[in-house]
Amino acid sequence: MRRVTWGGRRRLAVAGCALVFAAAAPTGHAEPQAGALIPLPAESHAGSGSFHVGAATPIRTPGGDGGAERAAHYLVEQVARLGGPALRVGAGRGHGHGGAISFERRRGLAAEGYQLEITPRGVTLAASTDAGLFYAAVTLSQLLPPARSGADLPVRQISDAPAYPWRGLMLDSARHFQPAAVVRSMIDWMAWHKLNVLHWHLTDDQGWRLEILKYPRLTSVGAWRTPASVASPADGRYGGYYTQREVRDIVAFAAGRQVTIVPEIDLPGHAQAAIAAYPELGSTDGPPPAVSARWGVHRYLFNPDEHTLGFLEDVLSEVVRLFPGRYVHIGGDEAVKDQWQASARVQLRARELGREDPEVLQAYFTERLGRFLAAHGRRLVGWDEVLRPELAPDAIVMSWHGTSGAHAAAIAGHDAVLTPWPTMYFDNRQSALAAEPPGRTKVISLEDVYRFEPRDATLSEAEQRHVLGVQGNLWTEHIRSDERLEWMALPRAAAVAELGWTPAARRRWPEFLARLAALTPRYTALHLHAADSPFAIDARFAPDVGGIDVTLVNQTGFGQIRYTTDGHDPGADAAVYAAPLTLAPGTTLSAATFDGRERISAVWTRRVDRQALARRDSQELTLCTDGVGLLLEPAGADRPVAVDIMNPCWIYRGADLSGGARLEAAVVPLPFNFELGADLAKARTGAAAGAVGELEVRVDGCEAEPVARLRLPATAQAATLAKVALPQLPGRHDLCLRIIRPALEPLWAIDWAGVGD
Ligand code: ACM
């Protein structure tokens, strides 16, 4: 779900419950010599002997073969970036002999397939297509270790081709805008994972990001919004757009990386920014809307008039001129029909068209624009809402309501792409650790993605061929920086790559993890901010008579955890964690996960004392409900807070109340900038004392009478609330901490809470 959701269709799990932690122990053995190869090739056979690749090894391409030359230059560039030897492309014909790396054309291989042979006499990269040669180069770049002096590559024979033709990621550039250089960089790292489709979400309620020459207001007005803020007036505009020139450059760069860009112009819903620019496209007679600064499903729909359809066709004519790929996405998702139903003009038009059912009226958009695209040699792609009996046979259905859309589409004879909520929605966080950036509180771990099975065994073989592949979606409501985009994408995109490329029988989770660990330093070499969530340290504390007990784990159990207690970062020779530690209060504990001598997680450091035990930030608390759980970033804060925007309420587990403890908490205000539709009525406020509201504290459940109340600050500002005494009760108890406020705005969240003396 890219947007706020309601209605139970996509309920979010309570934060932090979904993870299974295992004690860290060495597990996962890479396929011999697989090294840092992701995705794993379809077939690979090891032989004996090796071939040395170093700066003196020439690269040869067949004379006059531009595709082979491009793949060869890519290999040189990529190996250099990864810290390998400085290779050079030399002229001359070569076919794998004579101590060279030789590219060659070989007939009869699959469209994106290739063969890579390492013999004691040289390396041959063979394919029938440019894509195949490029992927052979990618594979060789991953096989070479990052050593300038080069390496002895063990003899092996790889025969490879992808399981699926669509291995994609979706980038939402509407909610947050990424500069052109970031989009190029994403295409670059996608290609290095053999991902080949960038689905580019260019328009939405919060911004129109594609320059359209005929309609300049789409970007002069529609690309800019005034951000929501608890401080008013809000400071400055947010926005940006891609000029057609930038788009052409990006498309050309993508072509060189074998990536097809599928542009999305979302309609008839998600149209508020366009309607803000050209109000006559809308379906109401009221004042024109502003470009939205709110998240969720909005009500602004394009009207079905001939003028509007003509406008959309004009837009699509520029789109097809810019994007040479075969596919154009027209959205179709989440078009709530309230405005159409309320509009006499739209109703009249619907009757004229004989399409009074609003879903059938939406299908009119799909049909008209599908015909327009077909006349321009393109295939229409739509979210699974477009799947209706009248859908044109060659339209492609993108299944996001689970996998049912793809299943139904395949049975109906349509091609389909699997991108199911929640597994393929990478705005969900990857772990419950405090280091995760803003997003949704549901945890979708790397393993969750890896274990997704694209093959639907209930479909016939012919129906299965309609499933073109898999895609992960980067919805960016809560992803505002380029580093965070990479964090949310990687390494989960590596799992998508393997699902899309590697045959099911070859996919094994522990072995994938071992290859990912080997790839991790390569991410660093490429300056990618990949998440370390699968390997990051998670510490649990428990008081003990002798001090404080600390248990260290990571999400996957992969690798060795090493630690120090002297304030230094753990190195490859630091003590290996084997069992819970009992530490004297005041000890500084640092830990990290290692794969052999290679550190593969950030260093985690904490002063272990009783205060650290008592104080928890909102990500370490449990949300009381799973309405719409989000990690949001308060203005000026350095870390997000976890909150269910439908019910700001947290559980502090296991508070020791035996000694007459006191509670202290800090709160932060956030703008309530969410479109909740009919569910607005379910968002919880309450009869609070005073104008601002209170934090109510209950013991053992959220329904009992409050045992304490803490007043929120009178103005919307971050504040630490005064300590209040808790009842003296034997043993440990769960505290329910709920914010009661008279209005939805601002949304208050607990930043941290502490229970102590
Ligand atoms: C979607 O998440 N609305 C496709």
Q: How far is ligand 1, taken at its centre, from the CA of residue 419, in Å?
A: 10
In the residue annotation, 73 being an active-site residue is answered as: no
Band of pLDDT at residue 234, cut at 50, 70 and 90 = low
Please state the φ and ψ torsions of residue 251, each to the nearest 5 degrees.
Answer: -65, -40
Name every residue whose Cβ is closer than 8 Å to that of residue 410 and which is 6 or more positions away in sequence.
416, 456, 459, 463, 464, 466, 467
Query: How large is the average pLDDT for residues 673-695?
Result: 82
Q: How far is ligand 1, taken at its centre, from the CA of residue 205, in Å?
A: 13
Residue among 172, 383, 471 to mutate when testing ligand 1 (max atoms within 8 A of CB): 383
The superfamily (CATH) of domain 202-394 is: Glycosidases (3.20.20.80)
Q: Helix or strand or coil: residue 95?
A: coil
> What Cα–Cα distance (Å) separates residue 645 from each residue in 1, 181, 196, 684?
15, 34, 36, 9
Is residue 274 within 8 Å of residue 249, measured between CB atoms? no
Residue 483, both tokens: 């580093």
Please state the φ and ψ torsions of residue 501, each to the nearest 5 degrees.
Answer: -105, -45
* Whether pLDDT at 465 is above 90: yes
Band of pLDDT at residue 689, cut at 50, 70 and 90 = low
Is residue 656 within 8 Å of residue 277, measured between CB atoms? no
* Whether pLDDT at 93 is above 70: no
> Is the CB–ligand 1 distance for residue 538 below 6 Å?
no
Residue 158, both tokens: 């790889």
* Whether pLDDT at 28 is above 50: no
Query: How large is the average pLDDT for residues 134-161?
Result: 96
Q: Are strands 732-740 and 694-699 parallel, antiparallel or unpaired?
A: antiparallel
d(C-alpha 291, C-alpha 224), whole Å: 7
Condensed to tens digits (0 to 9), the pLDDT of residues 638-659 reads 889 999 999 999 999 999 999 8
Query: How large is the average pLDDT for residues 256-276?
Result: 98
**H/E/C letters for each residue in 191-250?**
HHCCCCEEEEECEECCEECECCCCCCHHHHCCCEECCCCCCCCCCCCEECCECHHHHHHH
> Is the CB–ligand 1 distance for residue 1 below 6 Å?
yes
Give the residue among 7, 8, 2 at the shortest CA–CA distance from 678. 7
Query: How large is the average pLDDT for residues 281-299?
Result: 96
- Tally the residues of the chain: 757
Cβ atoms within 10 A of the Cβ of 49, count? Answer: 11
* Whether pLDDT at 21 is above 70: no
Please report where in the chains the tokens 């939406």 appear, as a residue: 362
CATH architecture of 537-608: Sandwich (2.60)
Residue 643, both tokens: 């909150």
The percentage of residues in the chain with a pLDDT greater than 70, rounded to a whole number, is 93
Residue 575 CA neighbour count, 13 Å, CB half: 13
Query: How large is the average pLDDT for residues 616-632?
Result: 95
pLDDT at 532: 98
> What are residue 607's DSSP bridge partners?
588
Is the bond into 39 cis (omega within 30 degrees of 0)?
A: yes
> What are residue 696's DSSP bridge partners?
709, 738
Condensed to tens digits (0 to 9), the pLDDT of residues 439-456 reads 999 999 999 999 999 999
Is residue 324 within 8 Å of residue 376, measured between CB atoms? no
Mean pLDDT of the chain: 92
Condensed to tens digits (0 to 9), the pLDDT of residues 578-606 reads 999 999 999 999 999 999 999 999 999 99
> Is the CB–ligand 1 distance for residue 751 below 6 Å?
no
pLDDT at 644: 97
Query: What separation, in Å, do the N-terminal and C-terminal C-alpha atoms of the chain show?
Result: 43
E strands, 463-580, are 467-474, 538-544, 547-554, 560-564, 575-576
In the residue annotation, 334 being an active-site residue is answered as: yes
Condensed to tens digits (0 to 9), the pLDDT of residues 496-547 reads 999 999 999 999 999 999 999 999 999 999 999 999 999 999 999 988 888 9
70-93 residues labelled b (16+ CB within 10 A) or e (exposed): bbbbbbbebbebbbbbebebeeee
Q: For the domain bounded by 43-160, which CATH number is listed? A: 3.30.379.10
d(C-alpha 539, C-alpha 592), whole Å: 11
Range in 95-99, 559-563, 619-623, 715-719 with the lowest mean pLDDT = 95-99
Band of pLDDT at residue 613, cut at 50, 70 and 90 = confident
d(C-alpha 309, C-alpha 306), whole Å: 5
Band of pLDDT at residue 690, cut at 50, 70 and 90 = low
The superfamily (CATH) of domain 615-756 is: Galactose-binding domain-like (2.60.120.260)
Closest ligand 1 atom, residue 334 Cα: 3
Residue 670 CA neighbour count, 13 Å, CB half: 24
Please state the φ and ψ torsions of residue 386, each to the nearest 5 degrees.
Answer: -80, -10
Band of pLDDT at residue 635, cut at 50, 70 and 90 = confident
* Whether pLDDT at 549 is above 60: yes
Is residue 652 within 8 Å of residue 697, measured between CB atoms? no
The percentage of residues in the chain with a pLDDT greater than 90, rounded to a whole number, is 86
> What are residue 666's DSSP bridge partners?
720, 752
pLDDT at 3: 41
Condensed to tens digits (0 to 9), the pLDDT of residues 368-409 reads 999 999 999 999 999 999 999 999 999 999 999 999 999 999
Is the bond into 233 cis (omega within 30 degrees of 0)?
A: yes
Is residue 474 within 8 Å of residue 426, measured between CB atoms? yes
**Which residue among 160, 204, 205, 620 is the active-site one?**
204
Please report where in the chains the tokens 């077939």 appear, as a residue: 43
Band of pLDDT at residue 26, cut at 50, 70 and 90 = very low
Q: Helix or strand or coil: residue 750?
A: strand
Topology of domain 397-524, CATH: TIM Barrel (3.20.20)
> Is the CB–ligand 1 distance for residue 400 below 6 Å?
yes
> Is the CB–ligand 1 distance for residue 131 below 6 Å?
no
d(C-alpha 696, C-alpha 687), whole Å: 12
Q: How far is ligand 1, taken at its centre, from the CA of residue 1, in Å?
A: 6
* Whether pLDDT at 238 is above 90: yes
* Whether pLDDT at 563 is above 80: yes
d(C-alpha 671, C-alpha 665), whole Å: 20
d(C-alpha 720, C-alpha 725), whole Å: 15
d(C-alpha 611, C-alpha 702), whole Å: 25
Read out DSSP for 440-467?
EEEE--HHHHHT-----TTS-HHHHTTE
> Is the CB–ligand 1 distance for residue 334 below 6 Å?
yes
Band of pLDDT at residue 742, cut at 50, 70 and 90 = confident
**Positive/negative CA dihedral, 92, 97, 101, 105:** positive
pLDDT at 335: 97
Q: How far is ligand 1, taken at its centre, from the CA of residue 2, in Å?
A: 5
pLDDT at 233: 59
Q: Are the folds of 202-394 and 397-524 the same?
A: yes
Is residue 368 within 8 Å of residue 318, measured between CB atoms? no
Band of pLDDT at residue 18, cut at 50, 70 and 90 = very low
**Which residue among 193, 199, 201, 270 is the active-site one?**
270
> Is the CB–ligand 1 distance for residue 2 below 6 Å?
yes
Closest ligand 1 atom, residue 331 Cα: 4
Closest ligand 1 atom, residue 473 Cα: 2
Q: How far is ligand 1, taken at its centre, from the CA of residue 331, in Å?
A: 9
Condensed to tens digits (0 to 9), the pLDDT of residues 419-428 reads 999 999 999 9
> Is the CB–ligand 1 distance for residue 365 below 6 Å?
no
> Is the CB–ligand 1 distance for residue 40 below 6 Å?
no
* Whether pLDDT at 2 is above 60: no
Closest ligand 1 atom, residue 2 Cα: 2
pLDDT at 20: 27
> Is the CB–ligand 1 distance for residue 38 below 6 Å?
no
pLDDT at 612: 78
Domain-by-domain residue ranges, the chain? 43-160, 202-394, 397-524, 537-608, 615-756
E strands, 268-419, are 295-296, 327-331, 379-383, 396-399, 415-418
In the residue annotation, 211 being an active-site residue is answered as: no
- CA 589 to centroid of chain Cα atoms: 31
Please report where in the chains the tokens 């020779």 appear, as a residue: 573
* Whether pLDDT at 684 is above 90: no
